[in-house]
């Protein structure tokens, strides 16, 4: 049961601290849409999305007006397309993009594959199509899972994706290589993630489901201002209490949206998702803890505590918590991260260390355009190893900025923000990446 004053408590957070529901994401199962040809499958996909998601945007807008809580995005996630595609996945990609536009959602995720132990012909064809797909569609996003704790790391897929990302950057160079922002490479991908670009509707999910992602870095930062200089015990308790309040609103929105759409409520994702706006930054939370900038000594410890307290507070406020749930550190989407990277305080190596304790991984990282495909693959492999060994989700969303070098910047605008180009270690790794094969699963995989 929800009390009215629980909603009233959020008014101050909304008006002054950038609190919002970042996304309502409807997941849709497409396995029953497979036809004899990709053209037939595309027709079925388009029709099903129109039927299932036709009221999503209206319901989201109604809830926003009635509750007074900003709902920034209404999105869709679908079954990984490689599971229903054949030799011409571009037809399905166009159908997905058109359907998303027709129902009015911001983005649709699921143009991807699960390749952590190997790949099928359909998966290889789909991955090879990604550069052209992301260059020619407006709303479509995708992901590839290349590693898991149970299976190890598929280094053939890692190597392939290094080249795919480079090709995507080339084809979208006129938009600051924005196509690369639509592609995430995962280890231990989750099936109920509502956030883009990595959202997809897992095979263990219901026919249709509503997942909600909350936000609120500004709310946490403002709460910590009241305990400035006090011990970490107090800081931890403050974060936990604040996360509880934020998540309660997300729970209400999720349950009410599911009820009105007549589909099951899935999960609330507790992730603190920043924006480029001042006062809405995870990096500024770390500064409020006493760091001059994100990246200074102590950053990883501060982020670890923030991530843990967000989970501890949020899990008490929702009947079902899932997705990624923690603190995001996307460079281009967080003004504090942007400033720290531009000042040289935040390096690629420090970010990698931070991903050991945060929600996801190296997110929205811009690197020089001449960074090689194998160097990108090496960055992916390093991040996948962190996820595999630590039994957590990690990811890489990296943008090789064609024609630009370290110290330059790229600008996507809106929630995607802008980013300084960060230098990459230039020592070679070609012989390592060209080995291919699979890195075996770690001892942690033997849990039975």
- 387: its two tokens: 């996820």
The tens digit of pLDDT for each residue in 131-167 reads 999 999 999 999 999 999 999 999 999 999 999 999 9
Quote the CA–CA distance of 224 and 442 in Å, as a whole number: 39
- Domains of the chain by residue range: 210-445
Closest CA to 395 of 309, 330, 306, 298: 330
H or E element in which residue 94 lies: helix 89-103
The answer to whether the CB of 153 falls within 8 A of the CB of 384 is yes
CA distance 306 to 85: 41
CATH 3.90.1150.10 fits 210-445, yes or no: no
Distance CA 331, CA 138 (A): 22
CA distances from 309 to 68, 150, 291, 440 (A): 27, 27, 18, 33
**CB contact set of 59 (below 8 Å; sequence gap of 6+):** 257, 260, 261
Say what the pLDDT of residue 110 is.
95
pLDDT of residue 112: 95
In this structure, the dihedral spanned by the alpha carbons of residues 212, 178, 163 and 135, taken in order and rounded to 10 degrees, is 100
Inter-residue contact 111 to 67 (CB < 8 Å): no
User: Could you give the CA distance from residue 212 to residue 231 in angstroms, rounded to a whole number?
Assistant: 33
User: Six-digit token pair at 212?
Assistant: 């909600």
List, for the chain, all residue ranges whose pLDDT scores fall below the cut of 70: 1-18
Q: Return the pLDDT at 16.
A: 45
pLDDT at 2: 46
* 221 close to 279: Cβ distance less than 8 angstroms: yes
| Full-model pTM | 0.92
**Structural contact between residues 129 and 86, judged by C-beta atoms closer than 8 angstroms:** no
Q: Alpha helices of 114-154 — where are they, by DSSP H?
A: 121-136
- The residue with tokens 């008014």 is 11
Q: CA-CA distance, 241 to 303, in Å (whole number)?
A: 17
Spatial separation of the C-alpha atoms in residues 157 and 408, rounded to whole Å: 30
Return the half-sphere exposure (C-beta side, CA atoms, 13 A cut-off) of residue 422: 30
Task: Give the three-state DSSP class for 397.
Answer: strand
Q: What is the pLDDT of residues 304-334, one digit of tens each?
A: 999 999 999 888 888 898 888 878 888 888 8
Note the helical H segments in 209-298: 217-225, 232-261, 282-288
Distance between CA 351 and CA 362 in Å, rounded?
Answer: 7
In angstroms and rounded to an integer, the radius of gyration of the C-alpha atoms of the chain is 21
What is the C-alpha to C-alpha distance for residues 139 and 197, in angstroms, rounded to an integer? 10
d(CA 222, CA 319): 27
Find where tokens 């809106």 sit. Answer: 414
Residue found under tokens 């480029």: 276
Closest by Cα among 19, 76, 44, 330 to 193: 76
DSSP secondary structure of 294-348: TTSTTHHHHHHHHHHHHHHHHHTT-S-B-SS-SB---STT-HHHHHHHHHTSS-H
């Amino acid at each position: 049961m929800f009390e009215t004053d629980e909603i009233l408590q959020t008014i101050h957070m909304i008006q002054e601290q950038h609190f919002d529901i970042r996304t309502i994401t409807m997941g849709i199962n497409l396995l029953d849409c497979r036809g004899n040809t990709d053209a037939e499958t595309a027709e079925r996909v388009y029709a099903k999305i129109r039927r299932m998601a036709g009221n999503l945007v209206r319901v989201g807008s109604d809830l926003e007006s009635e509750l007074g809580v900003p709902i920034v995005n209404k999105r869709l996630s679908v079954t990984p397309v490689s599971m229903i595609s054949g030799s011409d996945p571009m037809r399905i990609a166009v159908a997905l993009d058109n359907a998303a536009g027709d129902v009015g959602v911001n983005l649709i995720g699921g143009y991807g594959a699960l390749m952590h132990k190997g790949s099928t012909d359909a998966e290889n064809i789909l991955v090879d199509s990604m550069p052209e797909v992301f260059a020619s569609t407006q709303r479509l996003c995708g992901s590839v899972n290349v590693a898991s704790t149970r299976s190890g790391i598929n280094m053939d897929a890692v190597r392939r994706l290094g080249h795919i990302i480079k090709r995507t950057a080339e084809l979208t160079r006129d938009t600051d290589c924005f196509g690369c922002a639509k592609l995430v490479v995962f280890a231990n991908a989750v099936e109920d993630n509502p956030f883009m670009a990595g959202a997809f509707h897992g095979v263990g999910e219901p026919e249709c489901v509503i997942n909600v992602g909350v936000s609120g870095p500004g709310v946490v930062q403002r709460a910590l201002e009241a305990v400035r200089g006090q011990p970490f015990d107090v800081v931890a308790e403050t974060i936990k209490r604040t996360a509880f309040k934020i998540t309660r609103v997300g729970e209400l929105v999720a349950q009410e949206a599911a009820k009105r759409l007549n589909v099951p409520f899935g999960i609330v994702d507790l992730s603190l998702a920043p924006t480029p706006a001042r006062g809405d930054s995870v990096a500024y939370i770390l500064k409020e803890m006493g760091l001059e900038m994100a990246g200074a000594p102590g950053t990883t410890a501060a982020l670890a505590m923030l991530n843990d307290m967000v989970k501890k507070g949020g899990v008490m406020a929702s009947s079902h918590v899932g997705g990624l749930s923690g603190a995001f550190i996307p460079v281009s989407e967080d003004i504090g991260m942007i400033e720290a990277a531009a000042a040289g305080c935040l390096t690629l190596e420090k970010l990698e260390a931070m991903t050991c304790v945060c929600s996801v991984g190296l997110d929205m990282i811009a690197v020089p355009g001449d960074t090689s495909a194998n160097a990108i693959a090496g960055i992916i492999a390093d991040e996948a190893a962190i996820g595999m060994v630590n039994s957590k989700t990690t990811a890489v969303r990296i943008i090789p900025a064609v024609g630009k070098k370290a110290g330059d910047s790229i600008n996507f605008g809106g929630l995607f923000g802008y980013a300084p180009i960060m230098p990459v270690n230039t020592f070679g790794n070609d012989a390592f990446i060209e080995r291919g094969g699979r890195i075996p699963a770690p001892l942690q995989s033997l849990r039975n």
